[in-house]
Amino acid sequence: MKQASEHNQEVVKLDGIDKQILNHLMTDARKPILEIARKIGISGAAIHQRLKKLENAGLIEGSKFIINTKRLGYTTMAYIGIFLDKAMNNPKAVKDLEAIPEVLECHYTTGNWSILIKVLCRDNEHLMSILNNQIQRIEGVSRTETFISLNQQIDRQISI
């Protein structure tokens, strides 16, 4: 079921049944196990055993509800490249970014920026406030570059 990868982490090997189970649950995590079992042609207990094995292997990291943030009034998604004056400021900057609820993701990157973050705001005015009053005031941030997402055209997980 596992093999070592070039990064010294174990890679989980999936068979056809594992893939079918995961594809059903990735489409709808609330789909009843017995319904999946009927479609695949195995018992519900077998599905539970396989899911437990995949969870123990670290492949499945949980399930979650996806909130429609537009219904909460959050309509502006942006990506912000952050330039730090010194790489050693990264851990403190990330800790400060983590304290800002609108920051959804934070990535340590190659290229021009030290950090790339994804933020969700109510509108452009809210975004400007977050930038000016919080992100750009973080110690070590020398400047930022902001890209507003006009429309998310693809939203998916990796195919298995």
Q: Which residue has the tokens 């009034």?
A: 73
Kindly calculate the radius of gyration of the chain based on its CA atoms and give it in whole angstroms. 21
Q: For residues 144 and 131, is the Cβ–Cβ distance under 8 A?
A: yes
Kindly list the averaged pLDDT for each block of 10 residues, start to end, along the chain of length 160.
Answer: 54 94 93 96 96 94 90 98 92 97 96 96 98 97 97 91
DSSP class of 70: G
Query: 69-149: what CATH class?
Result: alpha beta
Question: What is the spatial distance between Cα 80 and Cα 27, in angstroms, rounded to a whole number?
Answer: 30
- Does domain 2-56 match CATH 3.30.70.2190? no
What's the full length of the chain, in residues? 160
How high is the pLDDT of residue 3?
47
Hey, where are the domains in the chain? 2-56, 69-149
